[in-house]
Amino acid sequence: MTNLSGTLLIEFLTEELPPINLEQNIGNPFAESIREQIAGFLHDDSSLKVIVAPRRFGCVINGVNSIQKDQTLLRKGPAISMGLKDGNPQPALLGFAKSCGTDWQNLEQRDDGYFYFTSLVKGKSLDEVLPETILNGLKKVQIAKGMRWGDNDFTFVRPVHGLTVMFNDKVIDCAALGVKSHNETNGHRFMSKESVIFADASEYFTKLEASGKVIAEFNARKKLISEGLTAKASELGFTISPIDGLIDEVTALVEWPEILVGEFDKKFLNVPQECLILSMAKNQKYFALLDNNGKLTNKFLFVSNLISKDPQVIIEGNQKVLSARLADAEFFFEFDKRTPLKEFVSKMAKVVYHNKLGSQLERIKRLQQIAAGIASSLGVDENLASHTAYLLKADLATEMVGEFPELQGIMGKYYAEFNRETQEVANAIEKHYYPRFSGDDLPDSNLAIVMSLADKLETLVGIWGIGLIPTGDKDPYALRRAALGIVRILLKHKIDLKSLLEITFSAFKDKNFDAKIIAELYEFILQRAENYLTSVGGYSTPVVRAALKSLSYQFKRDDLGIDKSLTRLDKLLPYLSDLGQDTKATELIQANKRIKNILEKNVSTELGEPSSSISEKNQYDEKLFEFLFKFNQNAAIDEEYKNYFNGLLKAGPILAAFFENVMVMDENSDIRNNRLALLQAAQVRFNYICNFAELS
């Protein structure tokens, strides 16, 4: 059989596919699965192009052989010592040889002391493996809900009408989802009347585009749309209002994109622009246009799925539909303004927050208590904090937010302004959701920071308190995101995390939560800090853990005035990174690890301060005692970490000499306990700023 080289084409022709995450859910999983399964047929320089369009998916792979590479299989058998006794084969060896289909004399004895069997497996043909390969690829397609059509007993995301499978100029016989393979497909639903027939798999993209008016490659269409939108907006002197995922969704809706310009009545510009932009994007998949000042204009762009002889007809039709949508938004806005913002709050008594945590109104009262409790830490008036927290969730009861939940907070700001609240209050209502995602802005005022912390802390303590703790990749209440938001704020603002959690916990007195959740949440938030500082901050895991361990909830706190807030990490982490590379620090790091091991094995409680008057103490005890109780911590208090660590490094040789010359676990219990207390005191003092045992 001649081994040919060339191009493989697989395309399923379907009804219109779901546009949301079309590439990620359908196109890529299928294509990647095909490539992985036929890896033995591929050249080293093979290439994959994914077919993803509204009515088709599949792949084109260049650099494919028609026959799979031969494979040498090596099987390991029993140990020679077990397989042969006095030159005679034992049952284990005979059984292995039988399973390999050979005599035991044909097995190879290797220097590692085991029998081996080597066999050559001839490569299969592409025709032979492809039918099953395609079926396996379909199993990788992510389908939320399947459809059944005709008399078929199977389901798929949408009905399938055709299957094209070719290797070079040859159709490979396959069948899947009720259709058999051939060398043709349908083009554009409206601009191509005839079937598109392929003479060779390599002409798929060019012929389908030229004859079928379909650009089948997702990224090619996306690039065309993105560049077309940018060019058209620039031509008009505007910029496009960015909406996450909108270009991808539009790309999944069109096979032949054409950019058109529409406009709407300027009267709608009296509605907050966020409402109009979201309505255009969410309902109509339109792109709003902004002027040079970032203000919404009454022009918009949309992507048509065909070239029309009279595009004005399409434009007018889209304008008419949009006008009705914007009229709805205008109605919601005007209707909501008839009700004072405070009255929306009273409606929250009938809205359940969680059946174990009460109504939204109960939640608002907790938010008021928490906000008032933490206000002073940021210099915010308690009454102002309580008042703002009372209005914080009012917009959840409005018609506009009911229609567009994405506008929560934003509409609260507008309605607060309309109700003559101060700009500070209105801004805090909007920004209390910040940061909403990784890289998002932080709240930009102290009042907004108080609201953001109160909201996130209330969520964390409440949801954690009723036992809905995140597990694995399941986090339905986004507690990790809330914790990360708290971390990002506390890295910039000097506020004690333990105090924040205690204030929040007190707002749930009627729920009888176990007090241990304070410590649990404290460590949970520090874990988010570790993830953030390693992934975003770029610091090594040992360095970050060393810094955070001294902030741990269980770590013995002192009364020296050393800052325990996350803000100190901004100065501390760079010094720790350098310290980990300093050879002078090695003795201190190793000694701290040894202290940790000794104490973990021999001490379960605090022993109190060591005594300087214990008899039979030696110079090594005395030197360590003297260093511990004379070392000046002021540099740490003042965050002068360079001076602090330079002084602390002097302890390395002292500890090394102590361990070299002193028996910690002395037979005399008084001496033993005093030395353990000395090590315990050393551990506390050396870990004021970082846990040296974590550094490597």
pLDDT per residue as tens digits for the range 341-400: 999 999 999 999 999 999 999 999 999 999 999 999 999 999 999 999 999 999 999 999
Helix (H) or strand (E) holding 535: helix 516-535
pLDDT at 636: 66
Residue 530: how many other CB atoms lie within 10 Å: 19
User: If DSSP codes are grouped into helix, strand and coil, which group holds residue 610?
Assistant: coil
Three-state SS sequence of 469-489:
CCECCECCCCHHHHHHHHHHH
Single-letter amino acid, residue 552: S
Q: 544: burial class by Cβ within 10 Å (0-12, 13-18, 19+)?
A: buried
Residues of the chain with pLDDT under 50: 557, 559
Q: Do domains 5-68+125-212 and 352-538 have the same CATH topology?
A: no
Residue 603 DSSP code: -
Tell me if 361 sits within 8 A of 348, measured CB to CB: yes
Domain 352-538 adopts which CATH fold? Hypothetical protein af1432 (1.10.3210)
At 427, give phi and psi (nearest 5°).
-65, -40
Q: Which residues contact 19 (CB under 8 A, 6 or more apart)?
A: 54, 249, 250, 252, 253
Q: Which residues contact 644 (CB under 8 A, 6 or more apart)?
A: 633, 635, 636, 689
The length of the chain in residues reads 696
Token code pair at residue 61: 């792979």
Sketch the domain layout of the chain as residue ranges: 5-68+125-212, 71-121, 218-337, 352-538, 567-694
Residue 8 DSSP code: E
CA atoms of 393 and 500, how far apart (whole Å): 21
Q: Under the phi-then-psi rule, with left for phi > 0, alpha for psi from -120 to 50, and beta for the rest, what region is 358? A: left
Q: 71: burial class by Cβ within 10 Å (0-12, 13-18, 19+)?
A: exposed
pLDDT at 646: 82
DSSP strand pairing (71-79 vs 179-182) = unpaired
Q: Which residues contact 39 (CB under 8 A, 6 or more apart)?
A: none
pLDDT at 559: 47
CA atoms of 260 and 303, how far apart (whole Å): 6
**Residues 20, 25, 26, CA angle at the centre, nearest 5°?**
105
Q: Is the preceding peptide bond at 18 cis, omega within 30 degrees of 0?
A: no
Q: In sequence order, what are the beta bridge partners of 358?
A: 354
Helix (H) or strand (E) holding 322: helix 311-337
Domain 5-68+125-212 adopts which CATH fold? Alpha-Beta Plaits (3.30.70)
Single-letter amino acid, residue 677: A
Token code pair at residue 73: 């299989």
CA atoms of 153 and 199, how far apart (whole Å): 33
Q: How far apart are the first and last CA of the chain?
A: 60
CA atoms of 296 and 291, how far apart (whole Å): 6
Tell me if 9 sits within 8 A of 165, measured CB to CB: yes
**Residues 323, 326, 329, CA angle at the centre, nearest 5°?**
155
